[in-house]
Chains A and B, each alone.
Chain A
Amino acid sequence: MLMGRVAIIGAGMTKFGQLWNQGLVELAVEANMKAIEDSGLDRKQIEALYIGNMSSGLFTRQEHISSLIADSSGLAPIPSTRVEAACASGAVSLRQAYLAVKSGMYDAVIAAGVEKMTDVTSTMSTRILSTASSQDYEASIGATFPGLYAMIARMHMHRFSTSEEQLAMVAVKNHRNALNNPYAHLRKSIKVDDVMNSAKVADPIKLLDCAPISDGAAAVVIASEELARKACDTPVWIEASAQASDSISLHNREDLVSLKASAVAGREAFRQARSSIRDIDCLELHDCFTIAEVLALEDLGFVEKGKGGKLVEEGLTEIGAKIPVNPSGGLKAKGHPIGASGIAQAIEATMQLRGDAFNNTNSQRILTHNVGGSGATAVVHIFGR
């Protein structure tokens, strides 16, 4: 493509957690304002807004949040678009914003994401999250979301002798990484035994294998190359933005131990960035459940299929090791306000590449990976400085 490059020039997020005193709109506005301030732009320079959000209607009974958030952020009358792709809503929002700037239509837009999840009971939020799977053929017969990932985990353990302890190590690492992150929901050190002894959710998945139910919002300002160079000393370049789809139901996939959409999006991202796994220094992976981080490592090609658990056990995904994974704490410990997660990953990448991350990895190039549902949507971005 002949179009210029596209960069992130500003980033802002709320704390993730159970934020009783903040509603959906306040969260989104806070993230937007912080991102604009960080970019150094005047708010009048923002030309469009994209908002990733999975289910404001079911969580808070509020739809039409695109304009509501634009107006509340003082950004009306610019166009505002809500983007929904279940848990990948954030990264798809980022991708839509990227495409809008890449096309030459705009010089500066915001890609944001928000979810307000804790105004309903946890049982209700489990039900709402299950709308990301087939209502007729999965959720309505009692297959919860943890249940679907549990069936993937059991298959992975059966085929490759992956152990529950190896999965627990993903949680232990991500909790440790979150200790330094003031925005994280769960800043609490845990041990493998804590995970193994936590309440069973859907065998073999236990409570501490699961990302928490969080409130939160995140936003980034995306700019054209010309504007980015003028406005910012440390633009973070979006070198690839790739997305793929697969069947919404697990049972309609050929292979249950691999998310094909992740593999396809990963290959396309490496093609766009003209790079390979060897060029990537650090990963922010979609770890809604510990098994998901293992799958992602394999599906993106960082380790052979079936060897993901071993990679984690050998400590090769720790900060300072071969390929640091989720230095932010990941969805698992930083928190997982569904629509915000994909944007928060991009913010972690931005901070890592600027050198102001809470756990600095001295990275030149970072890959982020966001999944919707049990793998029906996957989005991979590559960022460089």
Chain B
Amino acid sequence: MPANIWRRMPSFYSLAGSECMKCSSLYFPASKVCKKCGSQEISERVFEGAGEVVTYTVVRQGFNDDSENEKLVCNSPYIISIVKLMEGPMVTAQMADCEPEEMKIGARVKAVFRKISEEGEEGLIRYGYKFVLA
């Protein structure tokens, strides 16, 4: 899915979302229409990547085994978290360099740039954001 990844590079690589020019609502991922006021006057807004853990889980049974194409670079168990960014929007992401015992709701985290998945040994590698404890 090269084009699919290419299209989303800004959001995957730099947490680029959007801001409504009318009512200042912020979105991640970017939204072409403001869901609050309906405005289509939207500009890109890159989020800094600092935030805190709203909730999280340790995925013990992932879906790597059967995946013919795209394979996550880390096998289960891995930690998935919903992070509330400092600017307001929330994002779902994997935690990196972190053990389940270290996780707690409210923990401060920051975004890092990591390898997410790869399509076999010779296929495309997808990079993107993960979060680490700050």
Contacts and interface: CB of A to CB of B under 8 A. Distances in A.
B90 interface: yes
Contacts of B97: none
A154 B57 contact: yes
Given A151-B80, A256-B82, A137 B91 contact: yes
B82 A250 contact: yes
Given A141-B128, A142-B80, A152 B55 contact: yes
Residue in B4, B28, B80 whose Cβ sees the most chain A Cβ within 10 Å: B80
Interface string A100-127: 0000000000000000000011011011
Interchain residue pairs A-B with the least CB separation, the first 6: A150-B57, A251-B90, A127-B63, A155-B55, A151-B55, A124-B66
Interface residues of A, number: 35
A262 B120 CA distance: 41
Nearest to A152: B55
Contacts of B66: 120-121, 123-124, 127
A198 to B, nearest CB: 12
B62 A151 contact: no
Interface in B51-71: 54-67, 70
B50 interface: no
B116 interface: yes
B8 A200 contact: no
B92 interface: yes
B105 interface: yes
Interface of A: 120-121, 123-124, 126-127, 130, 136-138, 140-144, 146-147, 150-152, 154-155, 158, 199-205, 249-252, 256
Interface of B: 4, 8, 11, 27-29, 54-67, 70, 72, 74, 76, 78, 80-82, 89-94, 100, 105, 116-117, 126, 128
Given A121-B66, A123-B65, A136-B29, A252 B90 contact: yes
A206 to B, nearest CB: 9
A259 B42 CA distance: 28
19 contacts: A120-B66, A121-B65, A123-B61, A127-B63, A127-B66, A140-B126, A141-B72, A141-B94, A141-B116, A142-B74, A143-B92, A150-B59, A151-B80, A151-B81, A199-B60, A200-B60, A202-B57, A202-B58, A202-B59
A144 B92 contact: no
Contact of A140 (B61, B89, B117): B117
A203 B60 contact: yes
A146 B8 CA distance: 26
Contacts of A121: 65-66
A211 to B, nearest CB: 15
Contacts of B62: 126, 142, 144
Given A123-B65, A130-B63, A144-B62, A151 B90 contact: no
Nearest to A204: B57
B124 to A, nearest CB: 13
Residue in A141, A142, A144 whose Cβ sees the most chain B Cβ within 10 Å: A142
B87 to A, nearest CB: 14
Contacts of A120: 66
B92 A250 contact: yes
